[in-house]
Structure 1
Amino acid sequence: MEKLKAFYNKYLKNYIVLLFVTAVVLNLIIETLARHSLISSIAFMIQSPLVFLCNVLMIWAVISLALLFRRRVFAMCMLSLIWLTLGIVNGVILSNRMTPFTVYDLKSLEDGLSIVSNYFSVTTLVLAIAGVLALVLAIIFLYRKAPKLKNKVNYKKAIAAIAIIAIGTFGAFQLAIRTGVLDTFFGNLAYGYRDNGVPYCFLVTWMDKGVSKPSGYSENQIKSIFEDGELGDDNIYTPGEDDNTDVKSKPNILFLQLESFIDPTLVEGLEYSKDPIPNYRQLMKEYSSGYLTVPAVGAGTANVEFEVMTGISVKFFGPGEYPYKEILRKTTCETTPNDLKTLGYSSHAIHNHRGVFYGRNKVFSNMGFDTFTSLEYMNNVMKTPKNWAKDSILTEQIMDALESTDGSDYIYTISVQGHGKYPTEQVIEDPAVTVTKAESEEQKWTYEYYANQVYEMDLFVKELTDTLANYDEDVILVMYGDHLPALDMTEDMMKNGSLYQTQYIIWNNFGMEKEDQDLYAYNLTSEVLDRLGISVGMINKYQQSHKDDNDYLSGLESLAYDMLYGKQYIYGGKNPYKATNLKMGVKDIKIDEIVKIGENYYIKGQNFTEYSKVSLDGEILSTVYLGPTILALKEEVDPEDVSKMKISQVEKNKEILSTTE
C-alpha cells in the first residue's frame, strides 16, 4: 500500500501524467470492446505501438481539457465517458453487424432506435435503461464527492499545456499519415478500424465526407473524359437529346435486392439437411449469373441500392458515408429511373419495411421514382420470429406495380426477411432445413435460423419467377443479395474467399442468351441495359463505353464529383433533373362513405392497411383497422367536421407518409 501511495505521489499526482495514463487505459478498453478480446487488444498495442500511441494521443488531447476545471477528476471522468461511450456503442454494434460504428450512425439514430426491439430482448433493454439511470446517479455522486483544487486554476498554464498536447498530437498524426503508419483510405471499413484503431477511424468518418475534388478540376477536364462526339458536338450531356431513344424492345425491368441473401453452403464447416436455396441455384444454371461485388458486409443495404441505381461507387465517398443520409437529401441525381424516363418508363420502388428508413420516402423523390410502396401500404404481412416482414408479400406488390401502368415499368424492390439479428438459441421448432454439422451449439442455431429464412426467400423467388413467366409482357428480373449476413464471418470461412461477393441472376421471360460473368454493383445496371440495347444516361454511357479504360475509375469519380458536388460542367452547368411528386403506394387510398352507427363513425373505402389512420386538420385520431375497406373511429368528432376527415398512412414512429386529398 505504501508503495502504491508513493507511486501515486510521484507520478499520478501530476494531472498531465494521470491524464496520459487514463488515455492509455481508455484506448485499451475501447479496442477490447471492438475486438471482443483483451488479449487481442494487448496484441494490437504490442504489434502496432505507433498506431496505438496515436490513438492514445487523440484521447489524451480531448481529456486534457479537464485541466481547465477545479474539479479535475470529475471533468476527467466526464470527458473519459465520451470515449467510453464510443467504445461501448461500437462494441454493441459489432456484436450485431460486421460494420463498425461511424459518425453516420448518429444520423441514423432514429432508424436504429426503431428496430432496436428486433435485436435486443425486453430484459436486455430494461437492464440497459437501469444501467443508464445508475450511471446518472454515479455522476451525481462523483460530482459531490470528487476532490477539487484548493487554489484557483492557473488558466495560462492549463491552456499552454492543452495547446502543447494538441499541437504535439496534430504533428504526430501528420507524421504518421505521411509515413504510412496510419491509413487515410479504407477499402474495408472493418479492417480499417482493426488496423488503425477505433478513435482515429471514427474521426476520419467525421472529417472525410463527400467525393473529393479532382486534381485540376475544370470544364475542359470533365469534358475530356468522354471522347469527341460521344455527347454531341458540345460534349455536354443533355437528357433525351444525347440518348438513343429509338429502342425496339422496352421490356419491364425489375431489380430484386434480397436482404442478406447468400448461398449458406459457401460457408466452410457447415452442413445442412437439404439445399437451402434449390430454386435460386437452378436459376443460376439456366440464366446469366455470377458473383456480384458489393460495397457492404453485414449492413449497408442503402449503399448497395445507391451503387446499382446510380452507377457510382460509394468508395468515392467518405468511409462509412451514406449518400442517402447526406447529398441525396439535398439534391437530385442522375439515376436509372431518371435515365429510363427518356424512353417512357414509369418507375416504382418497393420495400417491405418502414418507408422512412434511410429517408427513402424523401430520397426516392430526388432519385426520380414515381411511386414508393413501403410496408405501410401492404396488407396481410407475415413476420419472421425476429419481427421482420417476410418476402412472400412482395410478389403481389410487384404485380400491382406492373399493372398500375399501361407502358413499360422499372421496378426496384428491396426485401427484408433475411435481416439479422440471428438468434443463438433454437427459435424455429420445426425447421424446413436443419444444420447437421457446426462448430458449436450457438453456431448451429444461428445458421439454422438464417438458412430457414433464406429457404423461404428462395421459395418467394420461385413464386415470383413462376408468376412473371406467365405474364403477358416481356420482363427482365435482376436478383442478388445486398451483402453477407452479420454472422461474424471471415474471409477464410468463405469458399469463394471474399466477404464482399454475393450472387446475381438475370432472369427473363423472353429468351435472352445466357452470359455469365462477375460484376460490381455499380456496373450491374449498365451491363443489363447494354444487353437490352439501351444506352441512355450519362453515367450509363460512360460505364458501357469506358469500363475497360485504364483510367475508368478516376473518370467515374470525377464525373461523380462534378454531378453531385461540383459545377456540373457535364450538364452545361445546370442540373437537368427535378424531384418527382413521389406517390406513396401504387393503389389509391380512398374514402367512399362515412357512416354513423350508434355513437361511432365508420369509414368505408379502399386499400386501407393497419397503418391507415383517420386524420382531421392534420391531427391523427384514434382509429381501429377493421379491414382493407373499413376503419372505425374511436373518438368523438363534431358532426360538422366529419366531411373534412381524411385518411393518413402513419408509420410506427408517428410520421405521416401520405394523406388522402
Structure 2
Amino acid sequence: MQSLSFWLIFSILLTIVVETIKFKSIKKALYFMKHSPIEFILNVLIISSTLALSFMVTRKVFVFTIVTIFWLLLSITNTIVTTLRGYPLMFSDIFLIKEGLSLSSQYFTPLVISMVLILLGFLFWIGYDLFQIQFETTTLQYVMGTVYVFLAGYIFYKTEKKELPKPAEEVELYEQMGFAYSITDSLYPYLNRKPDSYSEEKMNNLAHDLMPYFKNHPQSVDHNVIMIQMESFFDPLTLQNLSINIDPIPTIRHLMKTEPFGKLIVPTFGGGTGKTEFEVLTSMNVDYFGPGEIPHNSILKSTDIESLATHFSQSGFETIAIHNYEGNFYNRHIAYQHLGFDRFVPLEYMAGIEVNHDLSQMNDEHLIHNIIKAISQFEKSFIYAISAGTHQPYNETSYDEHHDIQIEGDLSLEERASLQDYCIKLHRLDHQIKRLLKYLETRQTPTTLILFSDHLPNLPVINDETFYPFDHYEVPVMVKHPSEFTFHDQKLPAYQLATEILNAVGIRGGIMNAIHDLEKGTFHYQSDLKLAQYDLIYGKQLLASVFPQHKTQEIKFGIEPLTIHSIMKTDHHLVIKGSGFNGDSQVFIDGKRVPTTYISEGELHAEMKMNKGNLVTIKQISGYHQALDEGKSFELAKINS
C-alpha cells in the first residue's frame, strides 16, 4: 500500500514537473492543473501507466528511474525543439533523426554537445548500478500493473475515438492538452490510419463522381513553368511597432503589387519545409497523416505518388527539382523519384561550385544559376526549386550598426540582430529573383513563375504579438502568368495551389486535383479527400484501378551528366579531366575512397598510385558521406592515359 501511494504521488509530481518544463514556468503548470483538471488527469494517467511497468519486473528501481528520466529528457527536448523550430516534439520526429543530427552543429557549440554526451555517460553509469538492485515481484503486483496499463490504454483509446475538440495548431495543442497526452496523441494516427467510412462501395461512388474531370481533354501547352519555394519568406515591412530603413524585397514587392497575389495557408510554422512541399506537389492534405509527419521520410521512401511532376511529365515537360542544399536531406534524392521527377539538381550536382554544407551560409545565387541553366537546356520544362539562402539559424548575438539595413524600435538585442540578419539574407534572395526575371524577359518562350513561402521564419519578433499580430500559418504566394490569372480564393490552402496552377496553364491533373476541382466547397469535400489519400497510399488503390497512375522512372542527377574524358597518371596523383565536377566530387578506386582535390568543373586530382585495370569511379558525396547514386565508373584500360 505504501508503494502504491508513493507511485501515485510521484506520478502527479512528475506530471507537474514535465508541464513546468514545457511551459518554462511552475506558475503556468499549476494553473493548467487547476483550470484543466480533466486534461491534467489524462496526463497523470499516461505517465503513471508507464511508471506502473515497474510493478511487473524485479528491477523496479531501475525501470522506475529509467521511465522518470525518459519523461524528463523528452520534455526538455521538446522545449529545445519548440524554441528552435517553432513547433513541438512529436512521434514523427523519429523519422527526422538524421536531419536533426546534421543540423545540430549549427545550433549547438561543441562544448554543449560534449556536456550532453558526458551527461548521458553519467546516466548510463548510474543506470548500471541501479540495474543490480532487485525486489521480489508478487503475482498481485504483476496483475495490478498489467491491468492498470491496459486500462490506461483503453481510456486513451476511447478518448481518441470521441475526437475531443482540440486546437489545430500543435503549439496550442501541447499547451491546452498537456505534454504527455499530446505526444502520445501524435503516435495514435500511426496505429490507426484507416478511416471508419473506407469501403469498396464508397470508393466506387467517389470514382463515379470524379469521372467528368477526366473526360475533359488537356490543352496543348508551349511554355515553361517555374515554381520557387522560398525558404522562411515573409514581408518584414508588415511588422508592427518597428521600422526598417530599407525595403529588403523591392523586386518581390513589385510583383506583389503588379501580379496576382494571395495568401497560402501552410501546415507548419518555423520549420518542417517538407510538409508544405508535399502538399503543394501532391495536392494532399498532411493533416490526414501522422502529426508532424514529413512524408519524404516515411511514405515517399517506397511509394509512388502522383504529383505536379507526373502531370507535367505526361504533357511532355522535362520535370526538374532544384535545391541548393544536400540532396539527401529529407531523403529528397529518393522522394523525388517517387514523385515522378525526371531529374534532381541538389547542391552536390551543381557543377563548378565548392561550398560548405552549412545552411546558415547557403547562397541562392547557385539556385538561380541552375534554374536559368535548366530552362536554357530544355525546350519545355517544369522546374520546382527550393531556396535555402534565408534558412535559420539567424545571428542573435551581434548587431551591425554600419550595415545598410538598420532596424529601429523597442527591441532586445536578440530580436534586433536576428531580424537584421534575416533581412540581409532576404535582400540577397530578392536580388537573385530580379536576376531571374531579367533573364526571362530575354526569352521568347513564355514562362509562368510562381513564388511562395514554405512557412514563416522562427524569428523572435514573429513570436511576439506586439510586432506580428497575424496568423502564423499564412504566407505570401504570387503568380506571374503570360495571360490573365486570378486566385479564386485570396486565402488558399497549400494543397489547393497545384490545381489552380494546372487549370491556369491548361494541364489536366490527377485524382487529388479532380477532388479539389469538383468538390471544393461541398460538405463531403474533406472526407473524400481523406478517403482518397488513404486509398492511394495505404488502401486497396481502388481509385488507381479506375484512373491509372503515371509510372515513374529512374531519376537523373544534375542538368548535364557527370562525365570523364581522360585520366592522366603522374608520380603523385591522377589528373582526371571531364565535366560536371564540383567540391563534392570524390574519386574511388575499386570502391575505396581516395583523397581528392577539386580543381575546376572539368578537372579533379586524386592522390593515388595505380596500375592499369583498376576501376575509377566518380561519386557526388552528400551529408553523412553518402553517395547520392552509383556514380560514373571507368576502367583504366579503356581510357587514354
Which residue is equivalent to 1:285? Answer: 257
Asked if 1:124 is matched to 2:124, the reply is no
Distance 1:540 1:33, change over 3 A: same
Deviates more, 1:282-291 or 1:481-490: 481-490
Asked if 1:166 is matched to 2:149, the reply is yes
Cα offset for 1:357? Answer: 0.9
For the residues of structure 1 that align with 2:525 and 2:487, how far apart are their CA atoms? 23
Cα offset for 1:329? Answer: 1.7
Which residue is equivalent to 2:124? Answer: 136
Distance 1:179 1:223, change over 3 A: closer
Which residue is equivalent to 2:627? Answer: 656
Distance 1:558 1:164, change over 3 A: closer
Task: Classify the secondary structure of the residue corresponding to 1:586.
Answer: coil
Cα offset for 1:96? Answer: 0.4
Asked if 1:198 is matched to 2:149, the reply is no
Which residue is equivalent to 1:646? Answer: 617
Cα offset for 1:626? Answer: 1.8
Q: Deviations over 1:476-514 (max 9, x none)?
A: 110011001112544845756311000011024x35456
Cα offset for 1:573? Answer: 6.1
Asked if 1:231 is matched to 2:192, the reply is no
Match 1:348 to one of 320, 327, 332:
320
Task: Classify the secondary structure of the residue corresponding to 1:648.
Answer: strand
For the residues of structure 2 that align with 1:546 and 1:535, how far apart are their CA atoms? 16
Which residue is equivalent to 2:638? Answer: none
Task: Classify the secondary structure of the residue corresponding to 1:95.
Answer: helix
Distance 1:179 1:567, change over 3 A: closer
* 8 Å Cα contact 1:567-1:573 kept in structure 2: no
Task: Classify the secondary structure of the residue corresponding to 1:52.
Answer: helix
* 8 Å Cα contact 1:310-1:335 kept in structure 2: yes
* 8 Å Cα contact 2:55-2:137 kept in structure 1: no
Distance 1:192 1:224, change over 3 A: same
Q: Deviations over 1:193-217 (max 9, x none)?
A: 1111122221222221399434443
For the residues of structure 1 that align with 2:399 and 2:119, how far apart are their CA atoms? 28
For the residues of structure 1 that align with 2:162 and 2:561, how far apart are their CA atoms? 61
Distance 1:605 1:438, change over 3 A: farther
* 8 Å Cα contact 2:487-2:500 kept in structure 1: no
Asked if 1:77 is matched to 2:65, the reply is yes
Task: Classify the secondary structure of the residue corresponding to 2:628.
Answer: strand
Cα offset for 1:27? Answer: 2.0
Cα offset for 1:339? Answer: 1.3
* 8 Å Cα contact 1:259-1:418 kept in structure 2: yes
Cα offset for 1:112? Answer: 1.0
Cα offset for 1:351? Answer: 0.8
Match 1:67 to one of 42, 48, 55:
55
Task: Classify the secondary structure of the residue corresponding to 2:206.
Answer: coil
Cα offset for 1:405? Answer: 2.0
Gaps of 5+ in 2: 634-641
Cα offset for 1:402? Answer: 1.4
For the residues of structure 1 that align with 2:299 and 2:358, how far apart are their CA atoms? 36
For the residues of structure 1 that align with 2:485 and 2:162, how far apart are their CA atoms? 51
Which residue is equivalent to 1:390? Answer: 363
Distance 1:155 1:574, change over 3 A: farther
Asked if 1:99 is matched to 2:87, the reply is yes
Which residue is equivalent to 2:277? Answer: 305
TM-score by length of 2: 0.91
Which residue is equivalent to 2:13? Answer: 25
For the residues of structure 1 that align with 2:115 and 2:534, how far apart are their CA atoms? 46
Which residue is equivalent to 1:403? Answer: 376
Match 2:476 to one of 464, 480, 503:
503
Task: Classify the secondary structure of the residue corresponding to 2:567.
Answer: strand
Q: How does 1:558-569 map to 2 (within 5 A)?
A: 558-569=531-542
Cα offset for 1:456? Answer: 1.7
Cα offset for 1:90? Answer: 0.9
Which residue is equivalent to 2:502? Answer: 529
* 8 Å Cα contact 2:19-2:29 kept in structure 1: yes
* 8 Å Cα contact 1:251-1:474 kept in structure 2: yes
Match 1:447 to one of 419, 426, 431:
419
Partner AA of 2:179 in structure 1: V
For the residues of structure 1 that align with 2:505 and 2:606, how far apart are their CA atoms? 51
Q: Deviations over 1:268-306 (max 9, x none)?
A: 333212222222111100101111111111111111111
Which residue is equivalent to 1:3? Answer: none
Asked if 1:462 is matched to 2:462, the reply is no
Task: Classify the secondary structure of the residue corresponding to 1:454.
Answer: helix
Task: Classify the secondary structure of the residue corresponding to 2:577.
Answer: strand
Distance 1:209 1:470, change over 3 A: farther
For the residues of structure 2 that align with 1:363 and 1:248, how far apart are their CA atoms? 29
Cα RMSD for the two superposed structures: 2.6
Which residue is equivalent to 1:635? Answer: 608
Which residue is equivalent to 2:238? Answer: 266
* 8 Å Cα contact 1:66-1:75 kept in structure 2: yes
* 8 Å Cα contact 1:308-1:525 kept in structure 2: yes
Distance 1:107 1:212, change over 3 A: closer
Which residue is equivalent to 1:520? Answer: 493
Cα offset for 1:383? Answer: 7.2
Q: What fraction of aligned residue pairs are identical, expressed as a percent?
A: 26
* 8 Å Cα contact 2:572-2:608 kept in structure 1: no
Match 1:257 to one of 221, 229, 237:
229
Distance 1:384 1:435, change over 3 A: farther
Cα offset for 1:135? Answer: 2.7
For the residues of structure 1 that align with 2:587 and 2:162, how far apart are their CA atoms? 63
Task: Classify the secondary structure of the residue corresponding to 2:16.
Answer: helix
* 8 Å Cα contact 1:205-1:321 kept in structure 2: no
* 8 Å Cα contact 1:366-1:578 kept in structure 2: no
Cα offset for 1:140? Answer: 4.0
Cα offset for 1:172? Answer: 4.2
Match 1:607 to one of 566, 576, 580:
580
* 8 Å Cα contact 1:381-1:393 kept in structure 2: no
Q: How does 1:148-163 map to 2 (within 5 A)?
A: 148-149=134-135, 153-163=136-146
* 8 Å Cα contact 2:362-2:388 kept in structure 1: yes
For the residues of structure 2 that align with 1:476 and 1:353, how far apart are their CA atoms? 24
Partner AA of 1:190 in structure 2: V
Match 1:358 to one of 330, 345, 354:
330
Cα offset for 1:175? Answer: 6.1
* 8 Å Cα contact 1:211-1:560 kept in structure 2: no
Cα offset for 1:46? Answer: 1.8
For the residues of structure 2 that align with 1:598 and 1:530, how far apart are their CA atoms? 62
Asked if 1:334 is matched to 2:314, the reply is no
Q: Deviations over 1:215-260 (max 9, x none)?
A: 44334422433666x527xx9x6xxxx5624x24332111100111
For the residues of structure 1 that align with 2:88 and 2:197, how far apart are their CA atoms? 34
Which residue is equivalent to 2:387? Answer: 415
